[in-house]
A and B are shown apart, each in its own frame.
Chain A
Amino acid sequence: MLSKLDQQQYTKRMNNRIRKNSVLQSVFFLSALFGLFVLAILIIRVVTQGFGWIDMDFLTGRLSTDPERAGIMGAILGTLWVMIVVIPVTMIVGVGTAIYLELYAKKGKFQASIQTNISNLAGVPSIVYGLLGLTVFVRLMDLGNVVLAGGLTLSLLVLPILIVAAQEAIRAVPSHLAEASYGMGATKWQTIQRVILPAALPSILTGSILSLSRAIGETAPLTVLGIPALLIPFPNGFFDTFTALPMQIYYWTLDSSLVAEYANLAAATIIVLLVLLFVLNSVAIFIRNKFQHRY
C-alpha cells in the first residue's frame, strides 16, 4: 500500500499537495479580505464625497430644495421616532413570542408551525412588508403614512429576527437556574420574570439592537408606504408624517441629476446613517461583552 508506493511518486505528490495547500490558503485569505476591501472603497468614497458637507447646520437644519441650506434634522428625528415605535413593539412582541415558544407552548404541531412560520417570515422580502404596511396600517387602519405606520411596518419586518435571537437567548439560560427557582416553590411566571429573563436579557438586548439597526437602514418598505419627498416640519409625534434617513438618501440620489450637489448631500447623509449604525452596533457589542454571563 502506501509504503509500497513508488517513493519518488510519493514525494512528488506530497510536494504537490503541500503546495496546493499553501496556494489555496492565500486564495482563502484574499477572499476574506475581498469583502473588507470593498467595504473600504465604499466608505472612502462616501466619506470623501460627503464629509465636507457635514456641519452643524446640515445636522440640525431643516430640509430644503437648496443644497446649501438643506439639513437632515427632520430625517434624523423621523428615524428616531420610528425607533421609538420599533423598540417597544419588537421587544414586547418578540420577547413575548420567544417566551411563549420556548417556555409555554407544548412541543407539538402548533409550536412547530409557528416556528416554521417565523423562519418563513424572516425570508420574506422587505418590500412585501411595505405592501402589508400600506394595506393594513396606512389604508385599513387609516393611519396614513405617519410615524406609527412606518414604525409598525418596520417592527413586523424585524420581528422574526428578534424572536429568533430572543429564543436563543432564553435557550442559553441553563436549566439548572430555572430548576433552582422551581425548587424554591416559585411559580412558572415568577421563575421566568426573576431568573430566566434577567439572565437572558443581555443577549436579548444585543439581538434587539441588531434588529433595530436593520430597521433603521431599510428603505424599500418605506418607499411603498409613500414617504413624501419634501417634508419640512419636524415630526414630533406618532401621528406625524415623516421622512427617514434612508429615504432622504434615496431621493437625493435620484435627484442628483437635477442638482449635482444632491449627490454630496446623499453621501453626507450616508455617513450620518453609518455613524448611527456604528454606534448602535458598538452598544450591542459592549452589552454583549459586559454582561456576558459565566454560569
Chain B
Amino acid sequence: GGEEAADNTESGDTSADGASEELEGNVVIDGSGTVYPLMSRLAEEYMINEQPNVSVEVSRAGTSAGFEKFLAEDGTDFNDASRPIKDEEKAKADELGIEVMEIKVALDGLTIVVNPENDWATELTAEQVNDIFLGNVTKWSEINSEWPDEKIQTYGPNENHGTYEFFYENILEEQDLVGDINLQQEYSTLVTLVSEDVNAIGFFGFGYYDSNKDKVKAVGIDFGEGPVEPSLDTIGEEGPYANYTRPVFTYLNVNNAKEKAQVYDYALYIAESANDFAGETGFAPIPDEEAQAQVEAIEALQ
C-alpha cells in the first residue's frame, strides 16, 4: 500500500491536518537506534511539510536506556523500541502514573549476515543459526564437513539494543549466547567487523543490511519450507520470514499527548505516515488495517 499512502501525505497538507491550527513547541523522542532512521525521517518530513514550528528532537540512546528516560518525571514524549515494553517497565510507568500507548510503526526482519566472500554459508536452517549462536558448533566444518575448518566468529549488537533482546528471547528462547560473541554498541562497527572477517556471522536489523549490501551478505534462512531471504516482501508477521520478523514500536506518553497538542498531533502523524517511509529506511510496512486501527485509537485520545 506504499503508493496509496504516499498520495495521502502529499494531500495531507491540506486535508488531514487542514483543520488543525499552527502548532508550536517541541516533541522529544528517544529510544532505539534501530528505529531511529525511520523516526528521524518521519520527524523531518513532519517538520518540513506539516508543522514547521514544532521541533521534533530525536535521540537514540537505545531501547532500554530510552525507556529509562521515558519513564521518568518530565520524561520524553515518545520512546522508540525495537521490542515490546517489559513488565518491569510497565510497572514503573504505573508507579509514575504515566499512561503508555504502544504504536507499532513498522516491521523489521532480523537478518543473519555473513562476509561477502563467504560462499558456503549462504543458506542456513533456523536450527543451525541457533547452534552457531549458542556455541553448539564452533567451526564451519562442524555444520557441513565441506565447509572450511575455521572457527566461526559471531557478532551482534549488544544488550543495549532491542535487536539483541529479540534474538535472545524469541529466537534463542532465552538460552545464553556463545561466550565469545563480539557484541557491539554501534552498528557501523558491526558492519565493518563482519565485512572484514571471512568467518564472521552476525545478526542485526534488516535496515542495516539493506544499506550495506555491498559489504555484507544476507543468509537465507530455512524455517522448514526452504530458504527465505529477508526482503520487504518476505518480512511480515504473516509472511514467509515471519519467524525472524519483529515489530518495532514507539511508545507514546499519553499524559503528554493530552497536555500538549503537538505531541498528540505528531502521534497521529506517525500512525498515519509510518508506512510511507518504512521501505526507504529499511523496514517493512505494517498491514493497512492495523495502521488504520492505530490512527483511530490515537484519535480517541482527544
Contact = CB atoms under 8 A, between A and B. Distances in A.
Direct touching of A and B (C-beta under 8 Å): yes
Nearest to A259: B211
Contacts of B282: 258
A64 interface: yes
Interface in B29-88: 30, 36-37, 40-41, 43-44, 47, 55-61, 69, 74
A232 B55 contact: yes
Given A228-B57, A229-B60, A230-B58, A256 B44 contact: no
A257 interface: yes
B249 interface: no
A64 B26 contact: no
B188 A254 contact: yes
B47 A258 contact: no
Contacts of A231: 55, 57-58
A226 B61 contact: yes
Contacts, number: 67
Given A241-B26, A254-B188, A257-B187, A230 B208 contact: no
A254 B61 CA distance: 13
Contact of A256 (B56, B188, B207): B188
Given A230-B58, A232-B55, A241-B26, A257 B192 contact: yes
Interface class of chain A by DSSP = loop
Contact of A228 (B41, B59, B208): B59
Contacts of B190: 257
A258 B36 CA distance: 11
Given A226-B69, A232-B43, 4 more contacts: A65-B44, A228-B28, A229-B36, A257-B190
Interface of A: 64-66, 142, 226-233, 241, 253-260
12 contacts: A65-B41, A65-B44, A226-B30, A227-B59, A229-B60, A230-B43, A230-B57, A231-B55, A232-B44, A257-B208, A258-B208, A258-B212
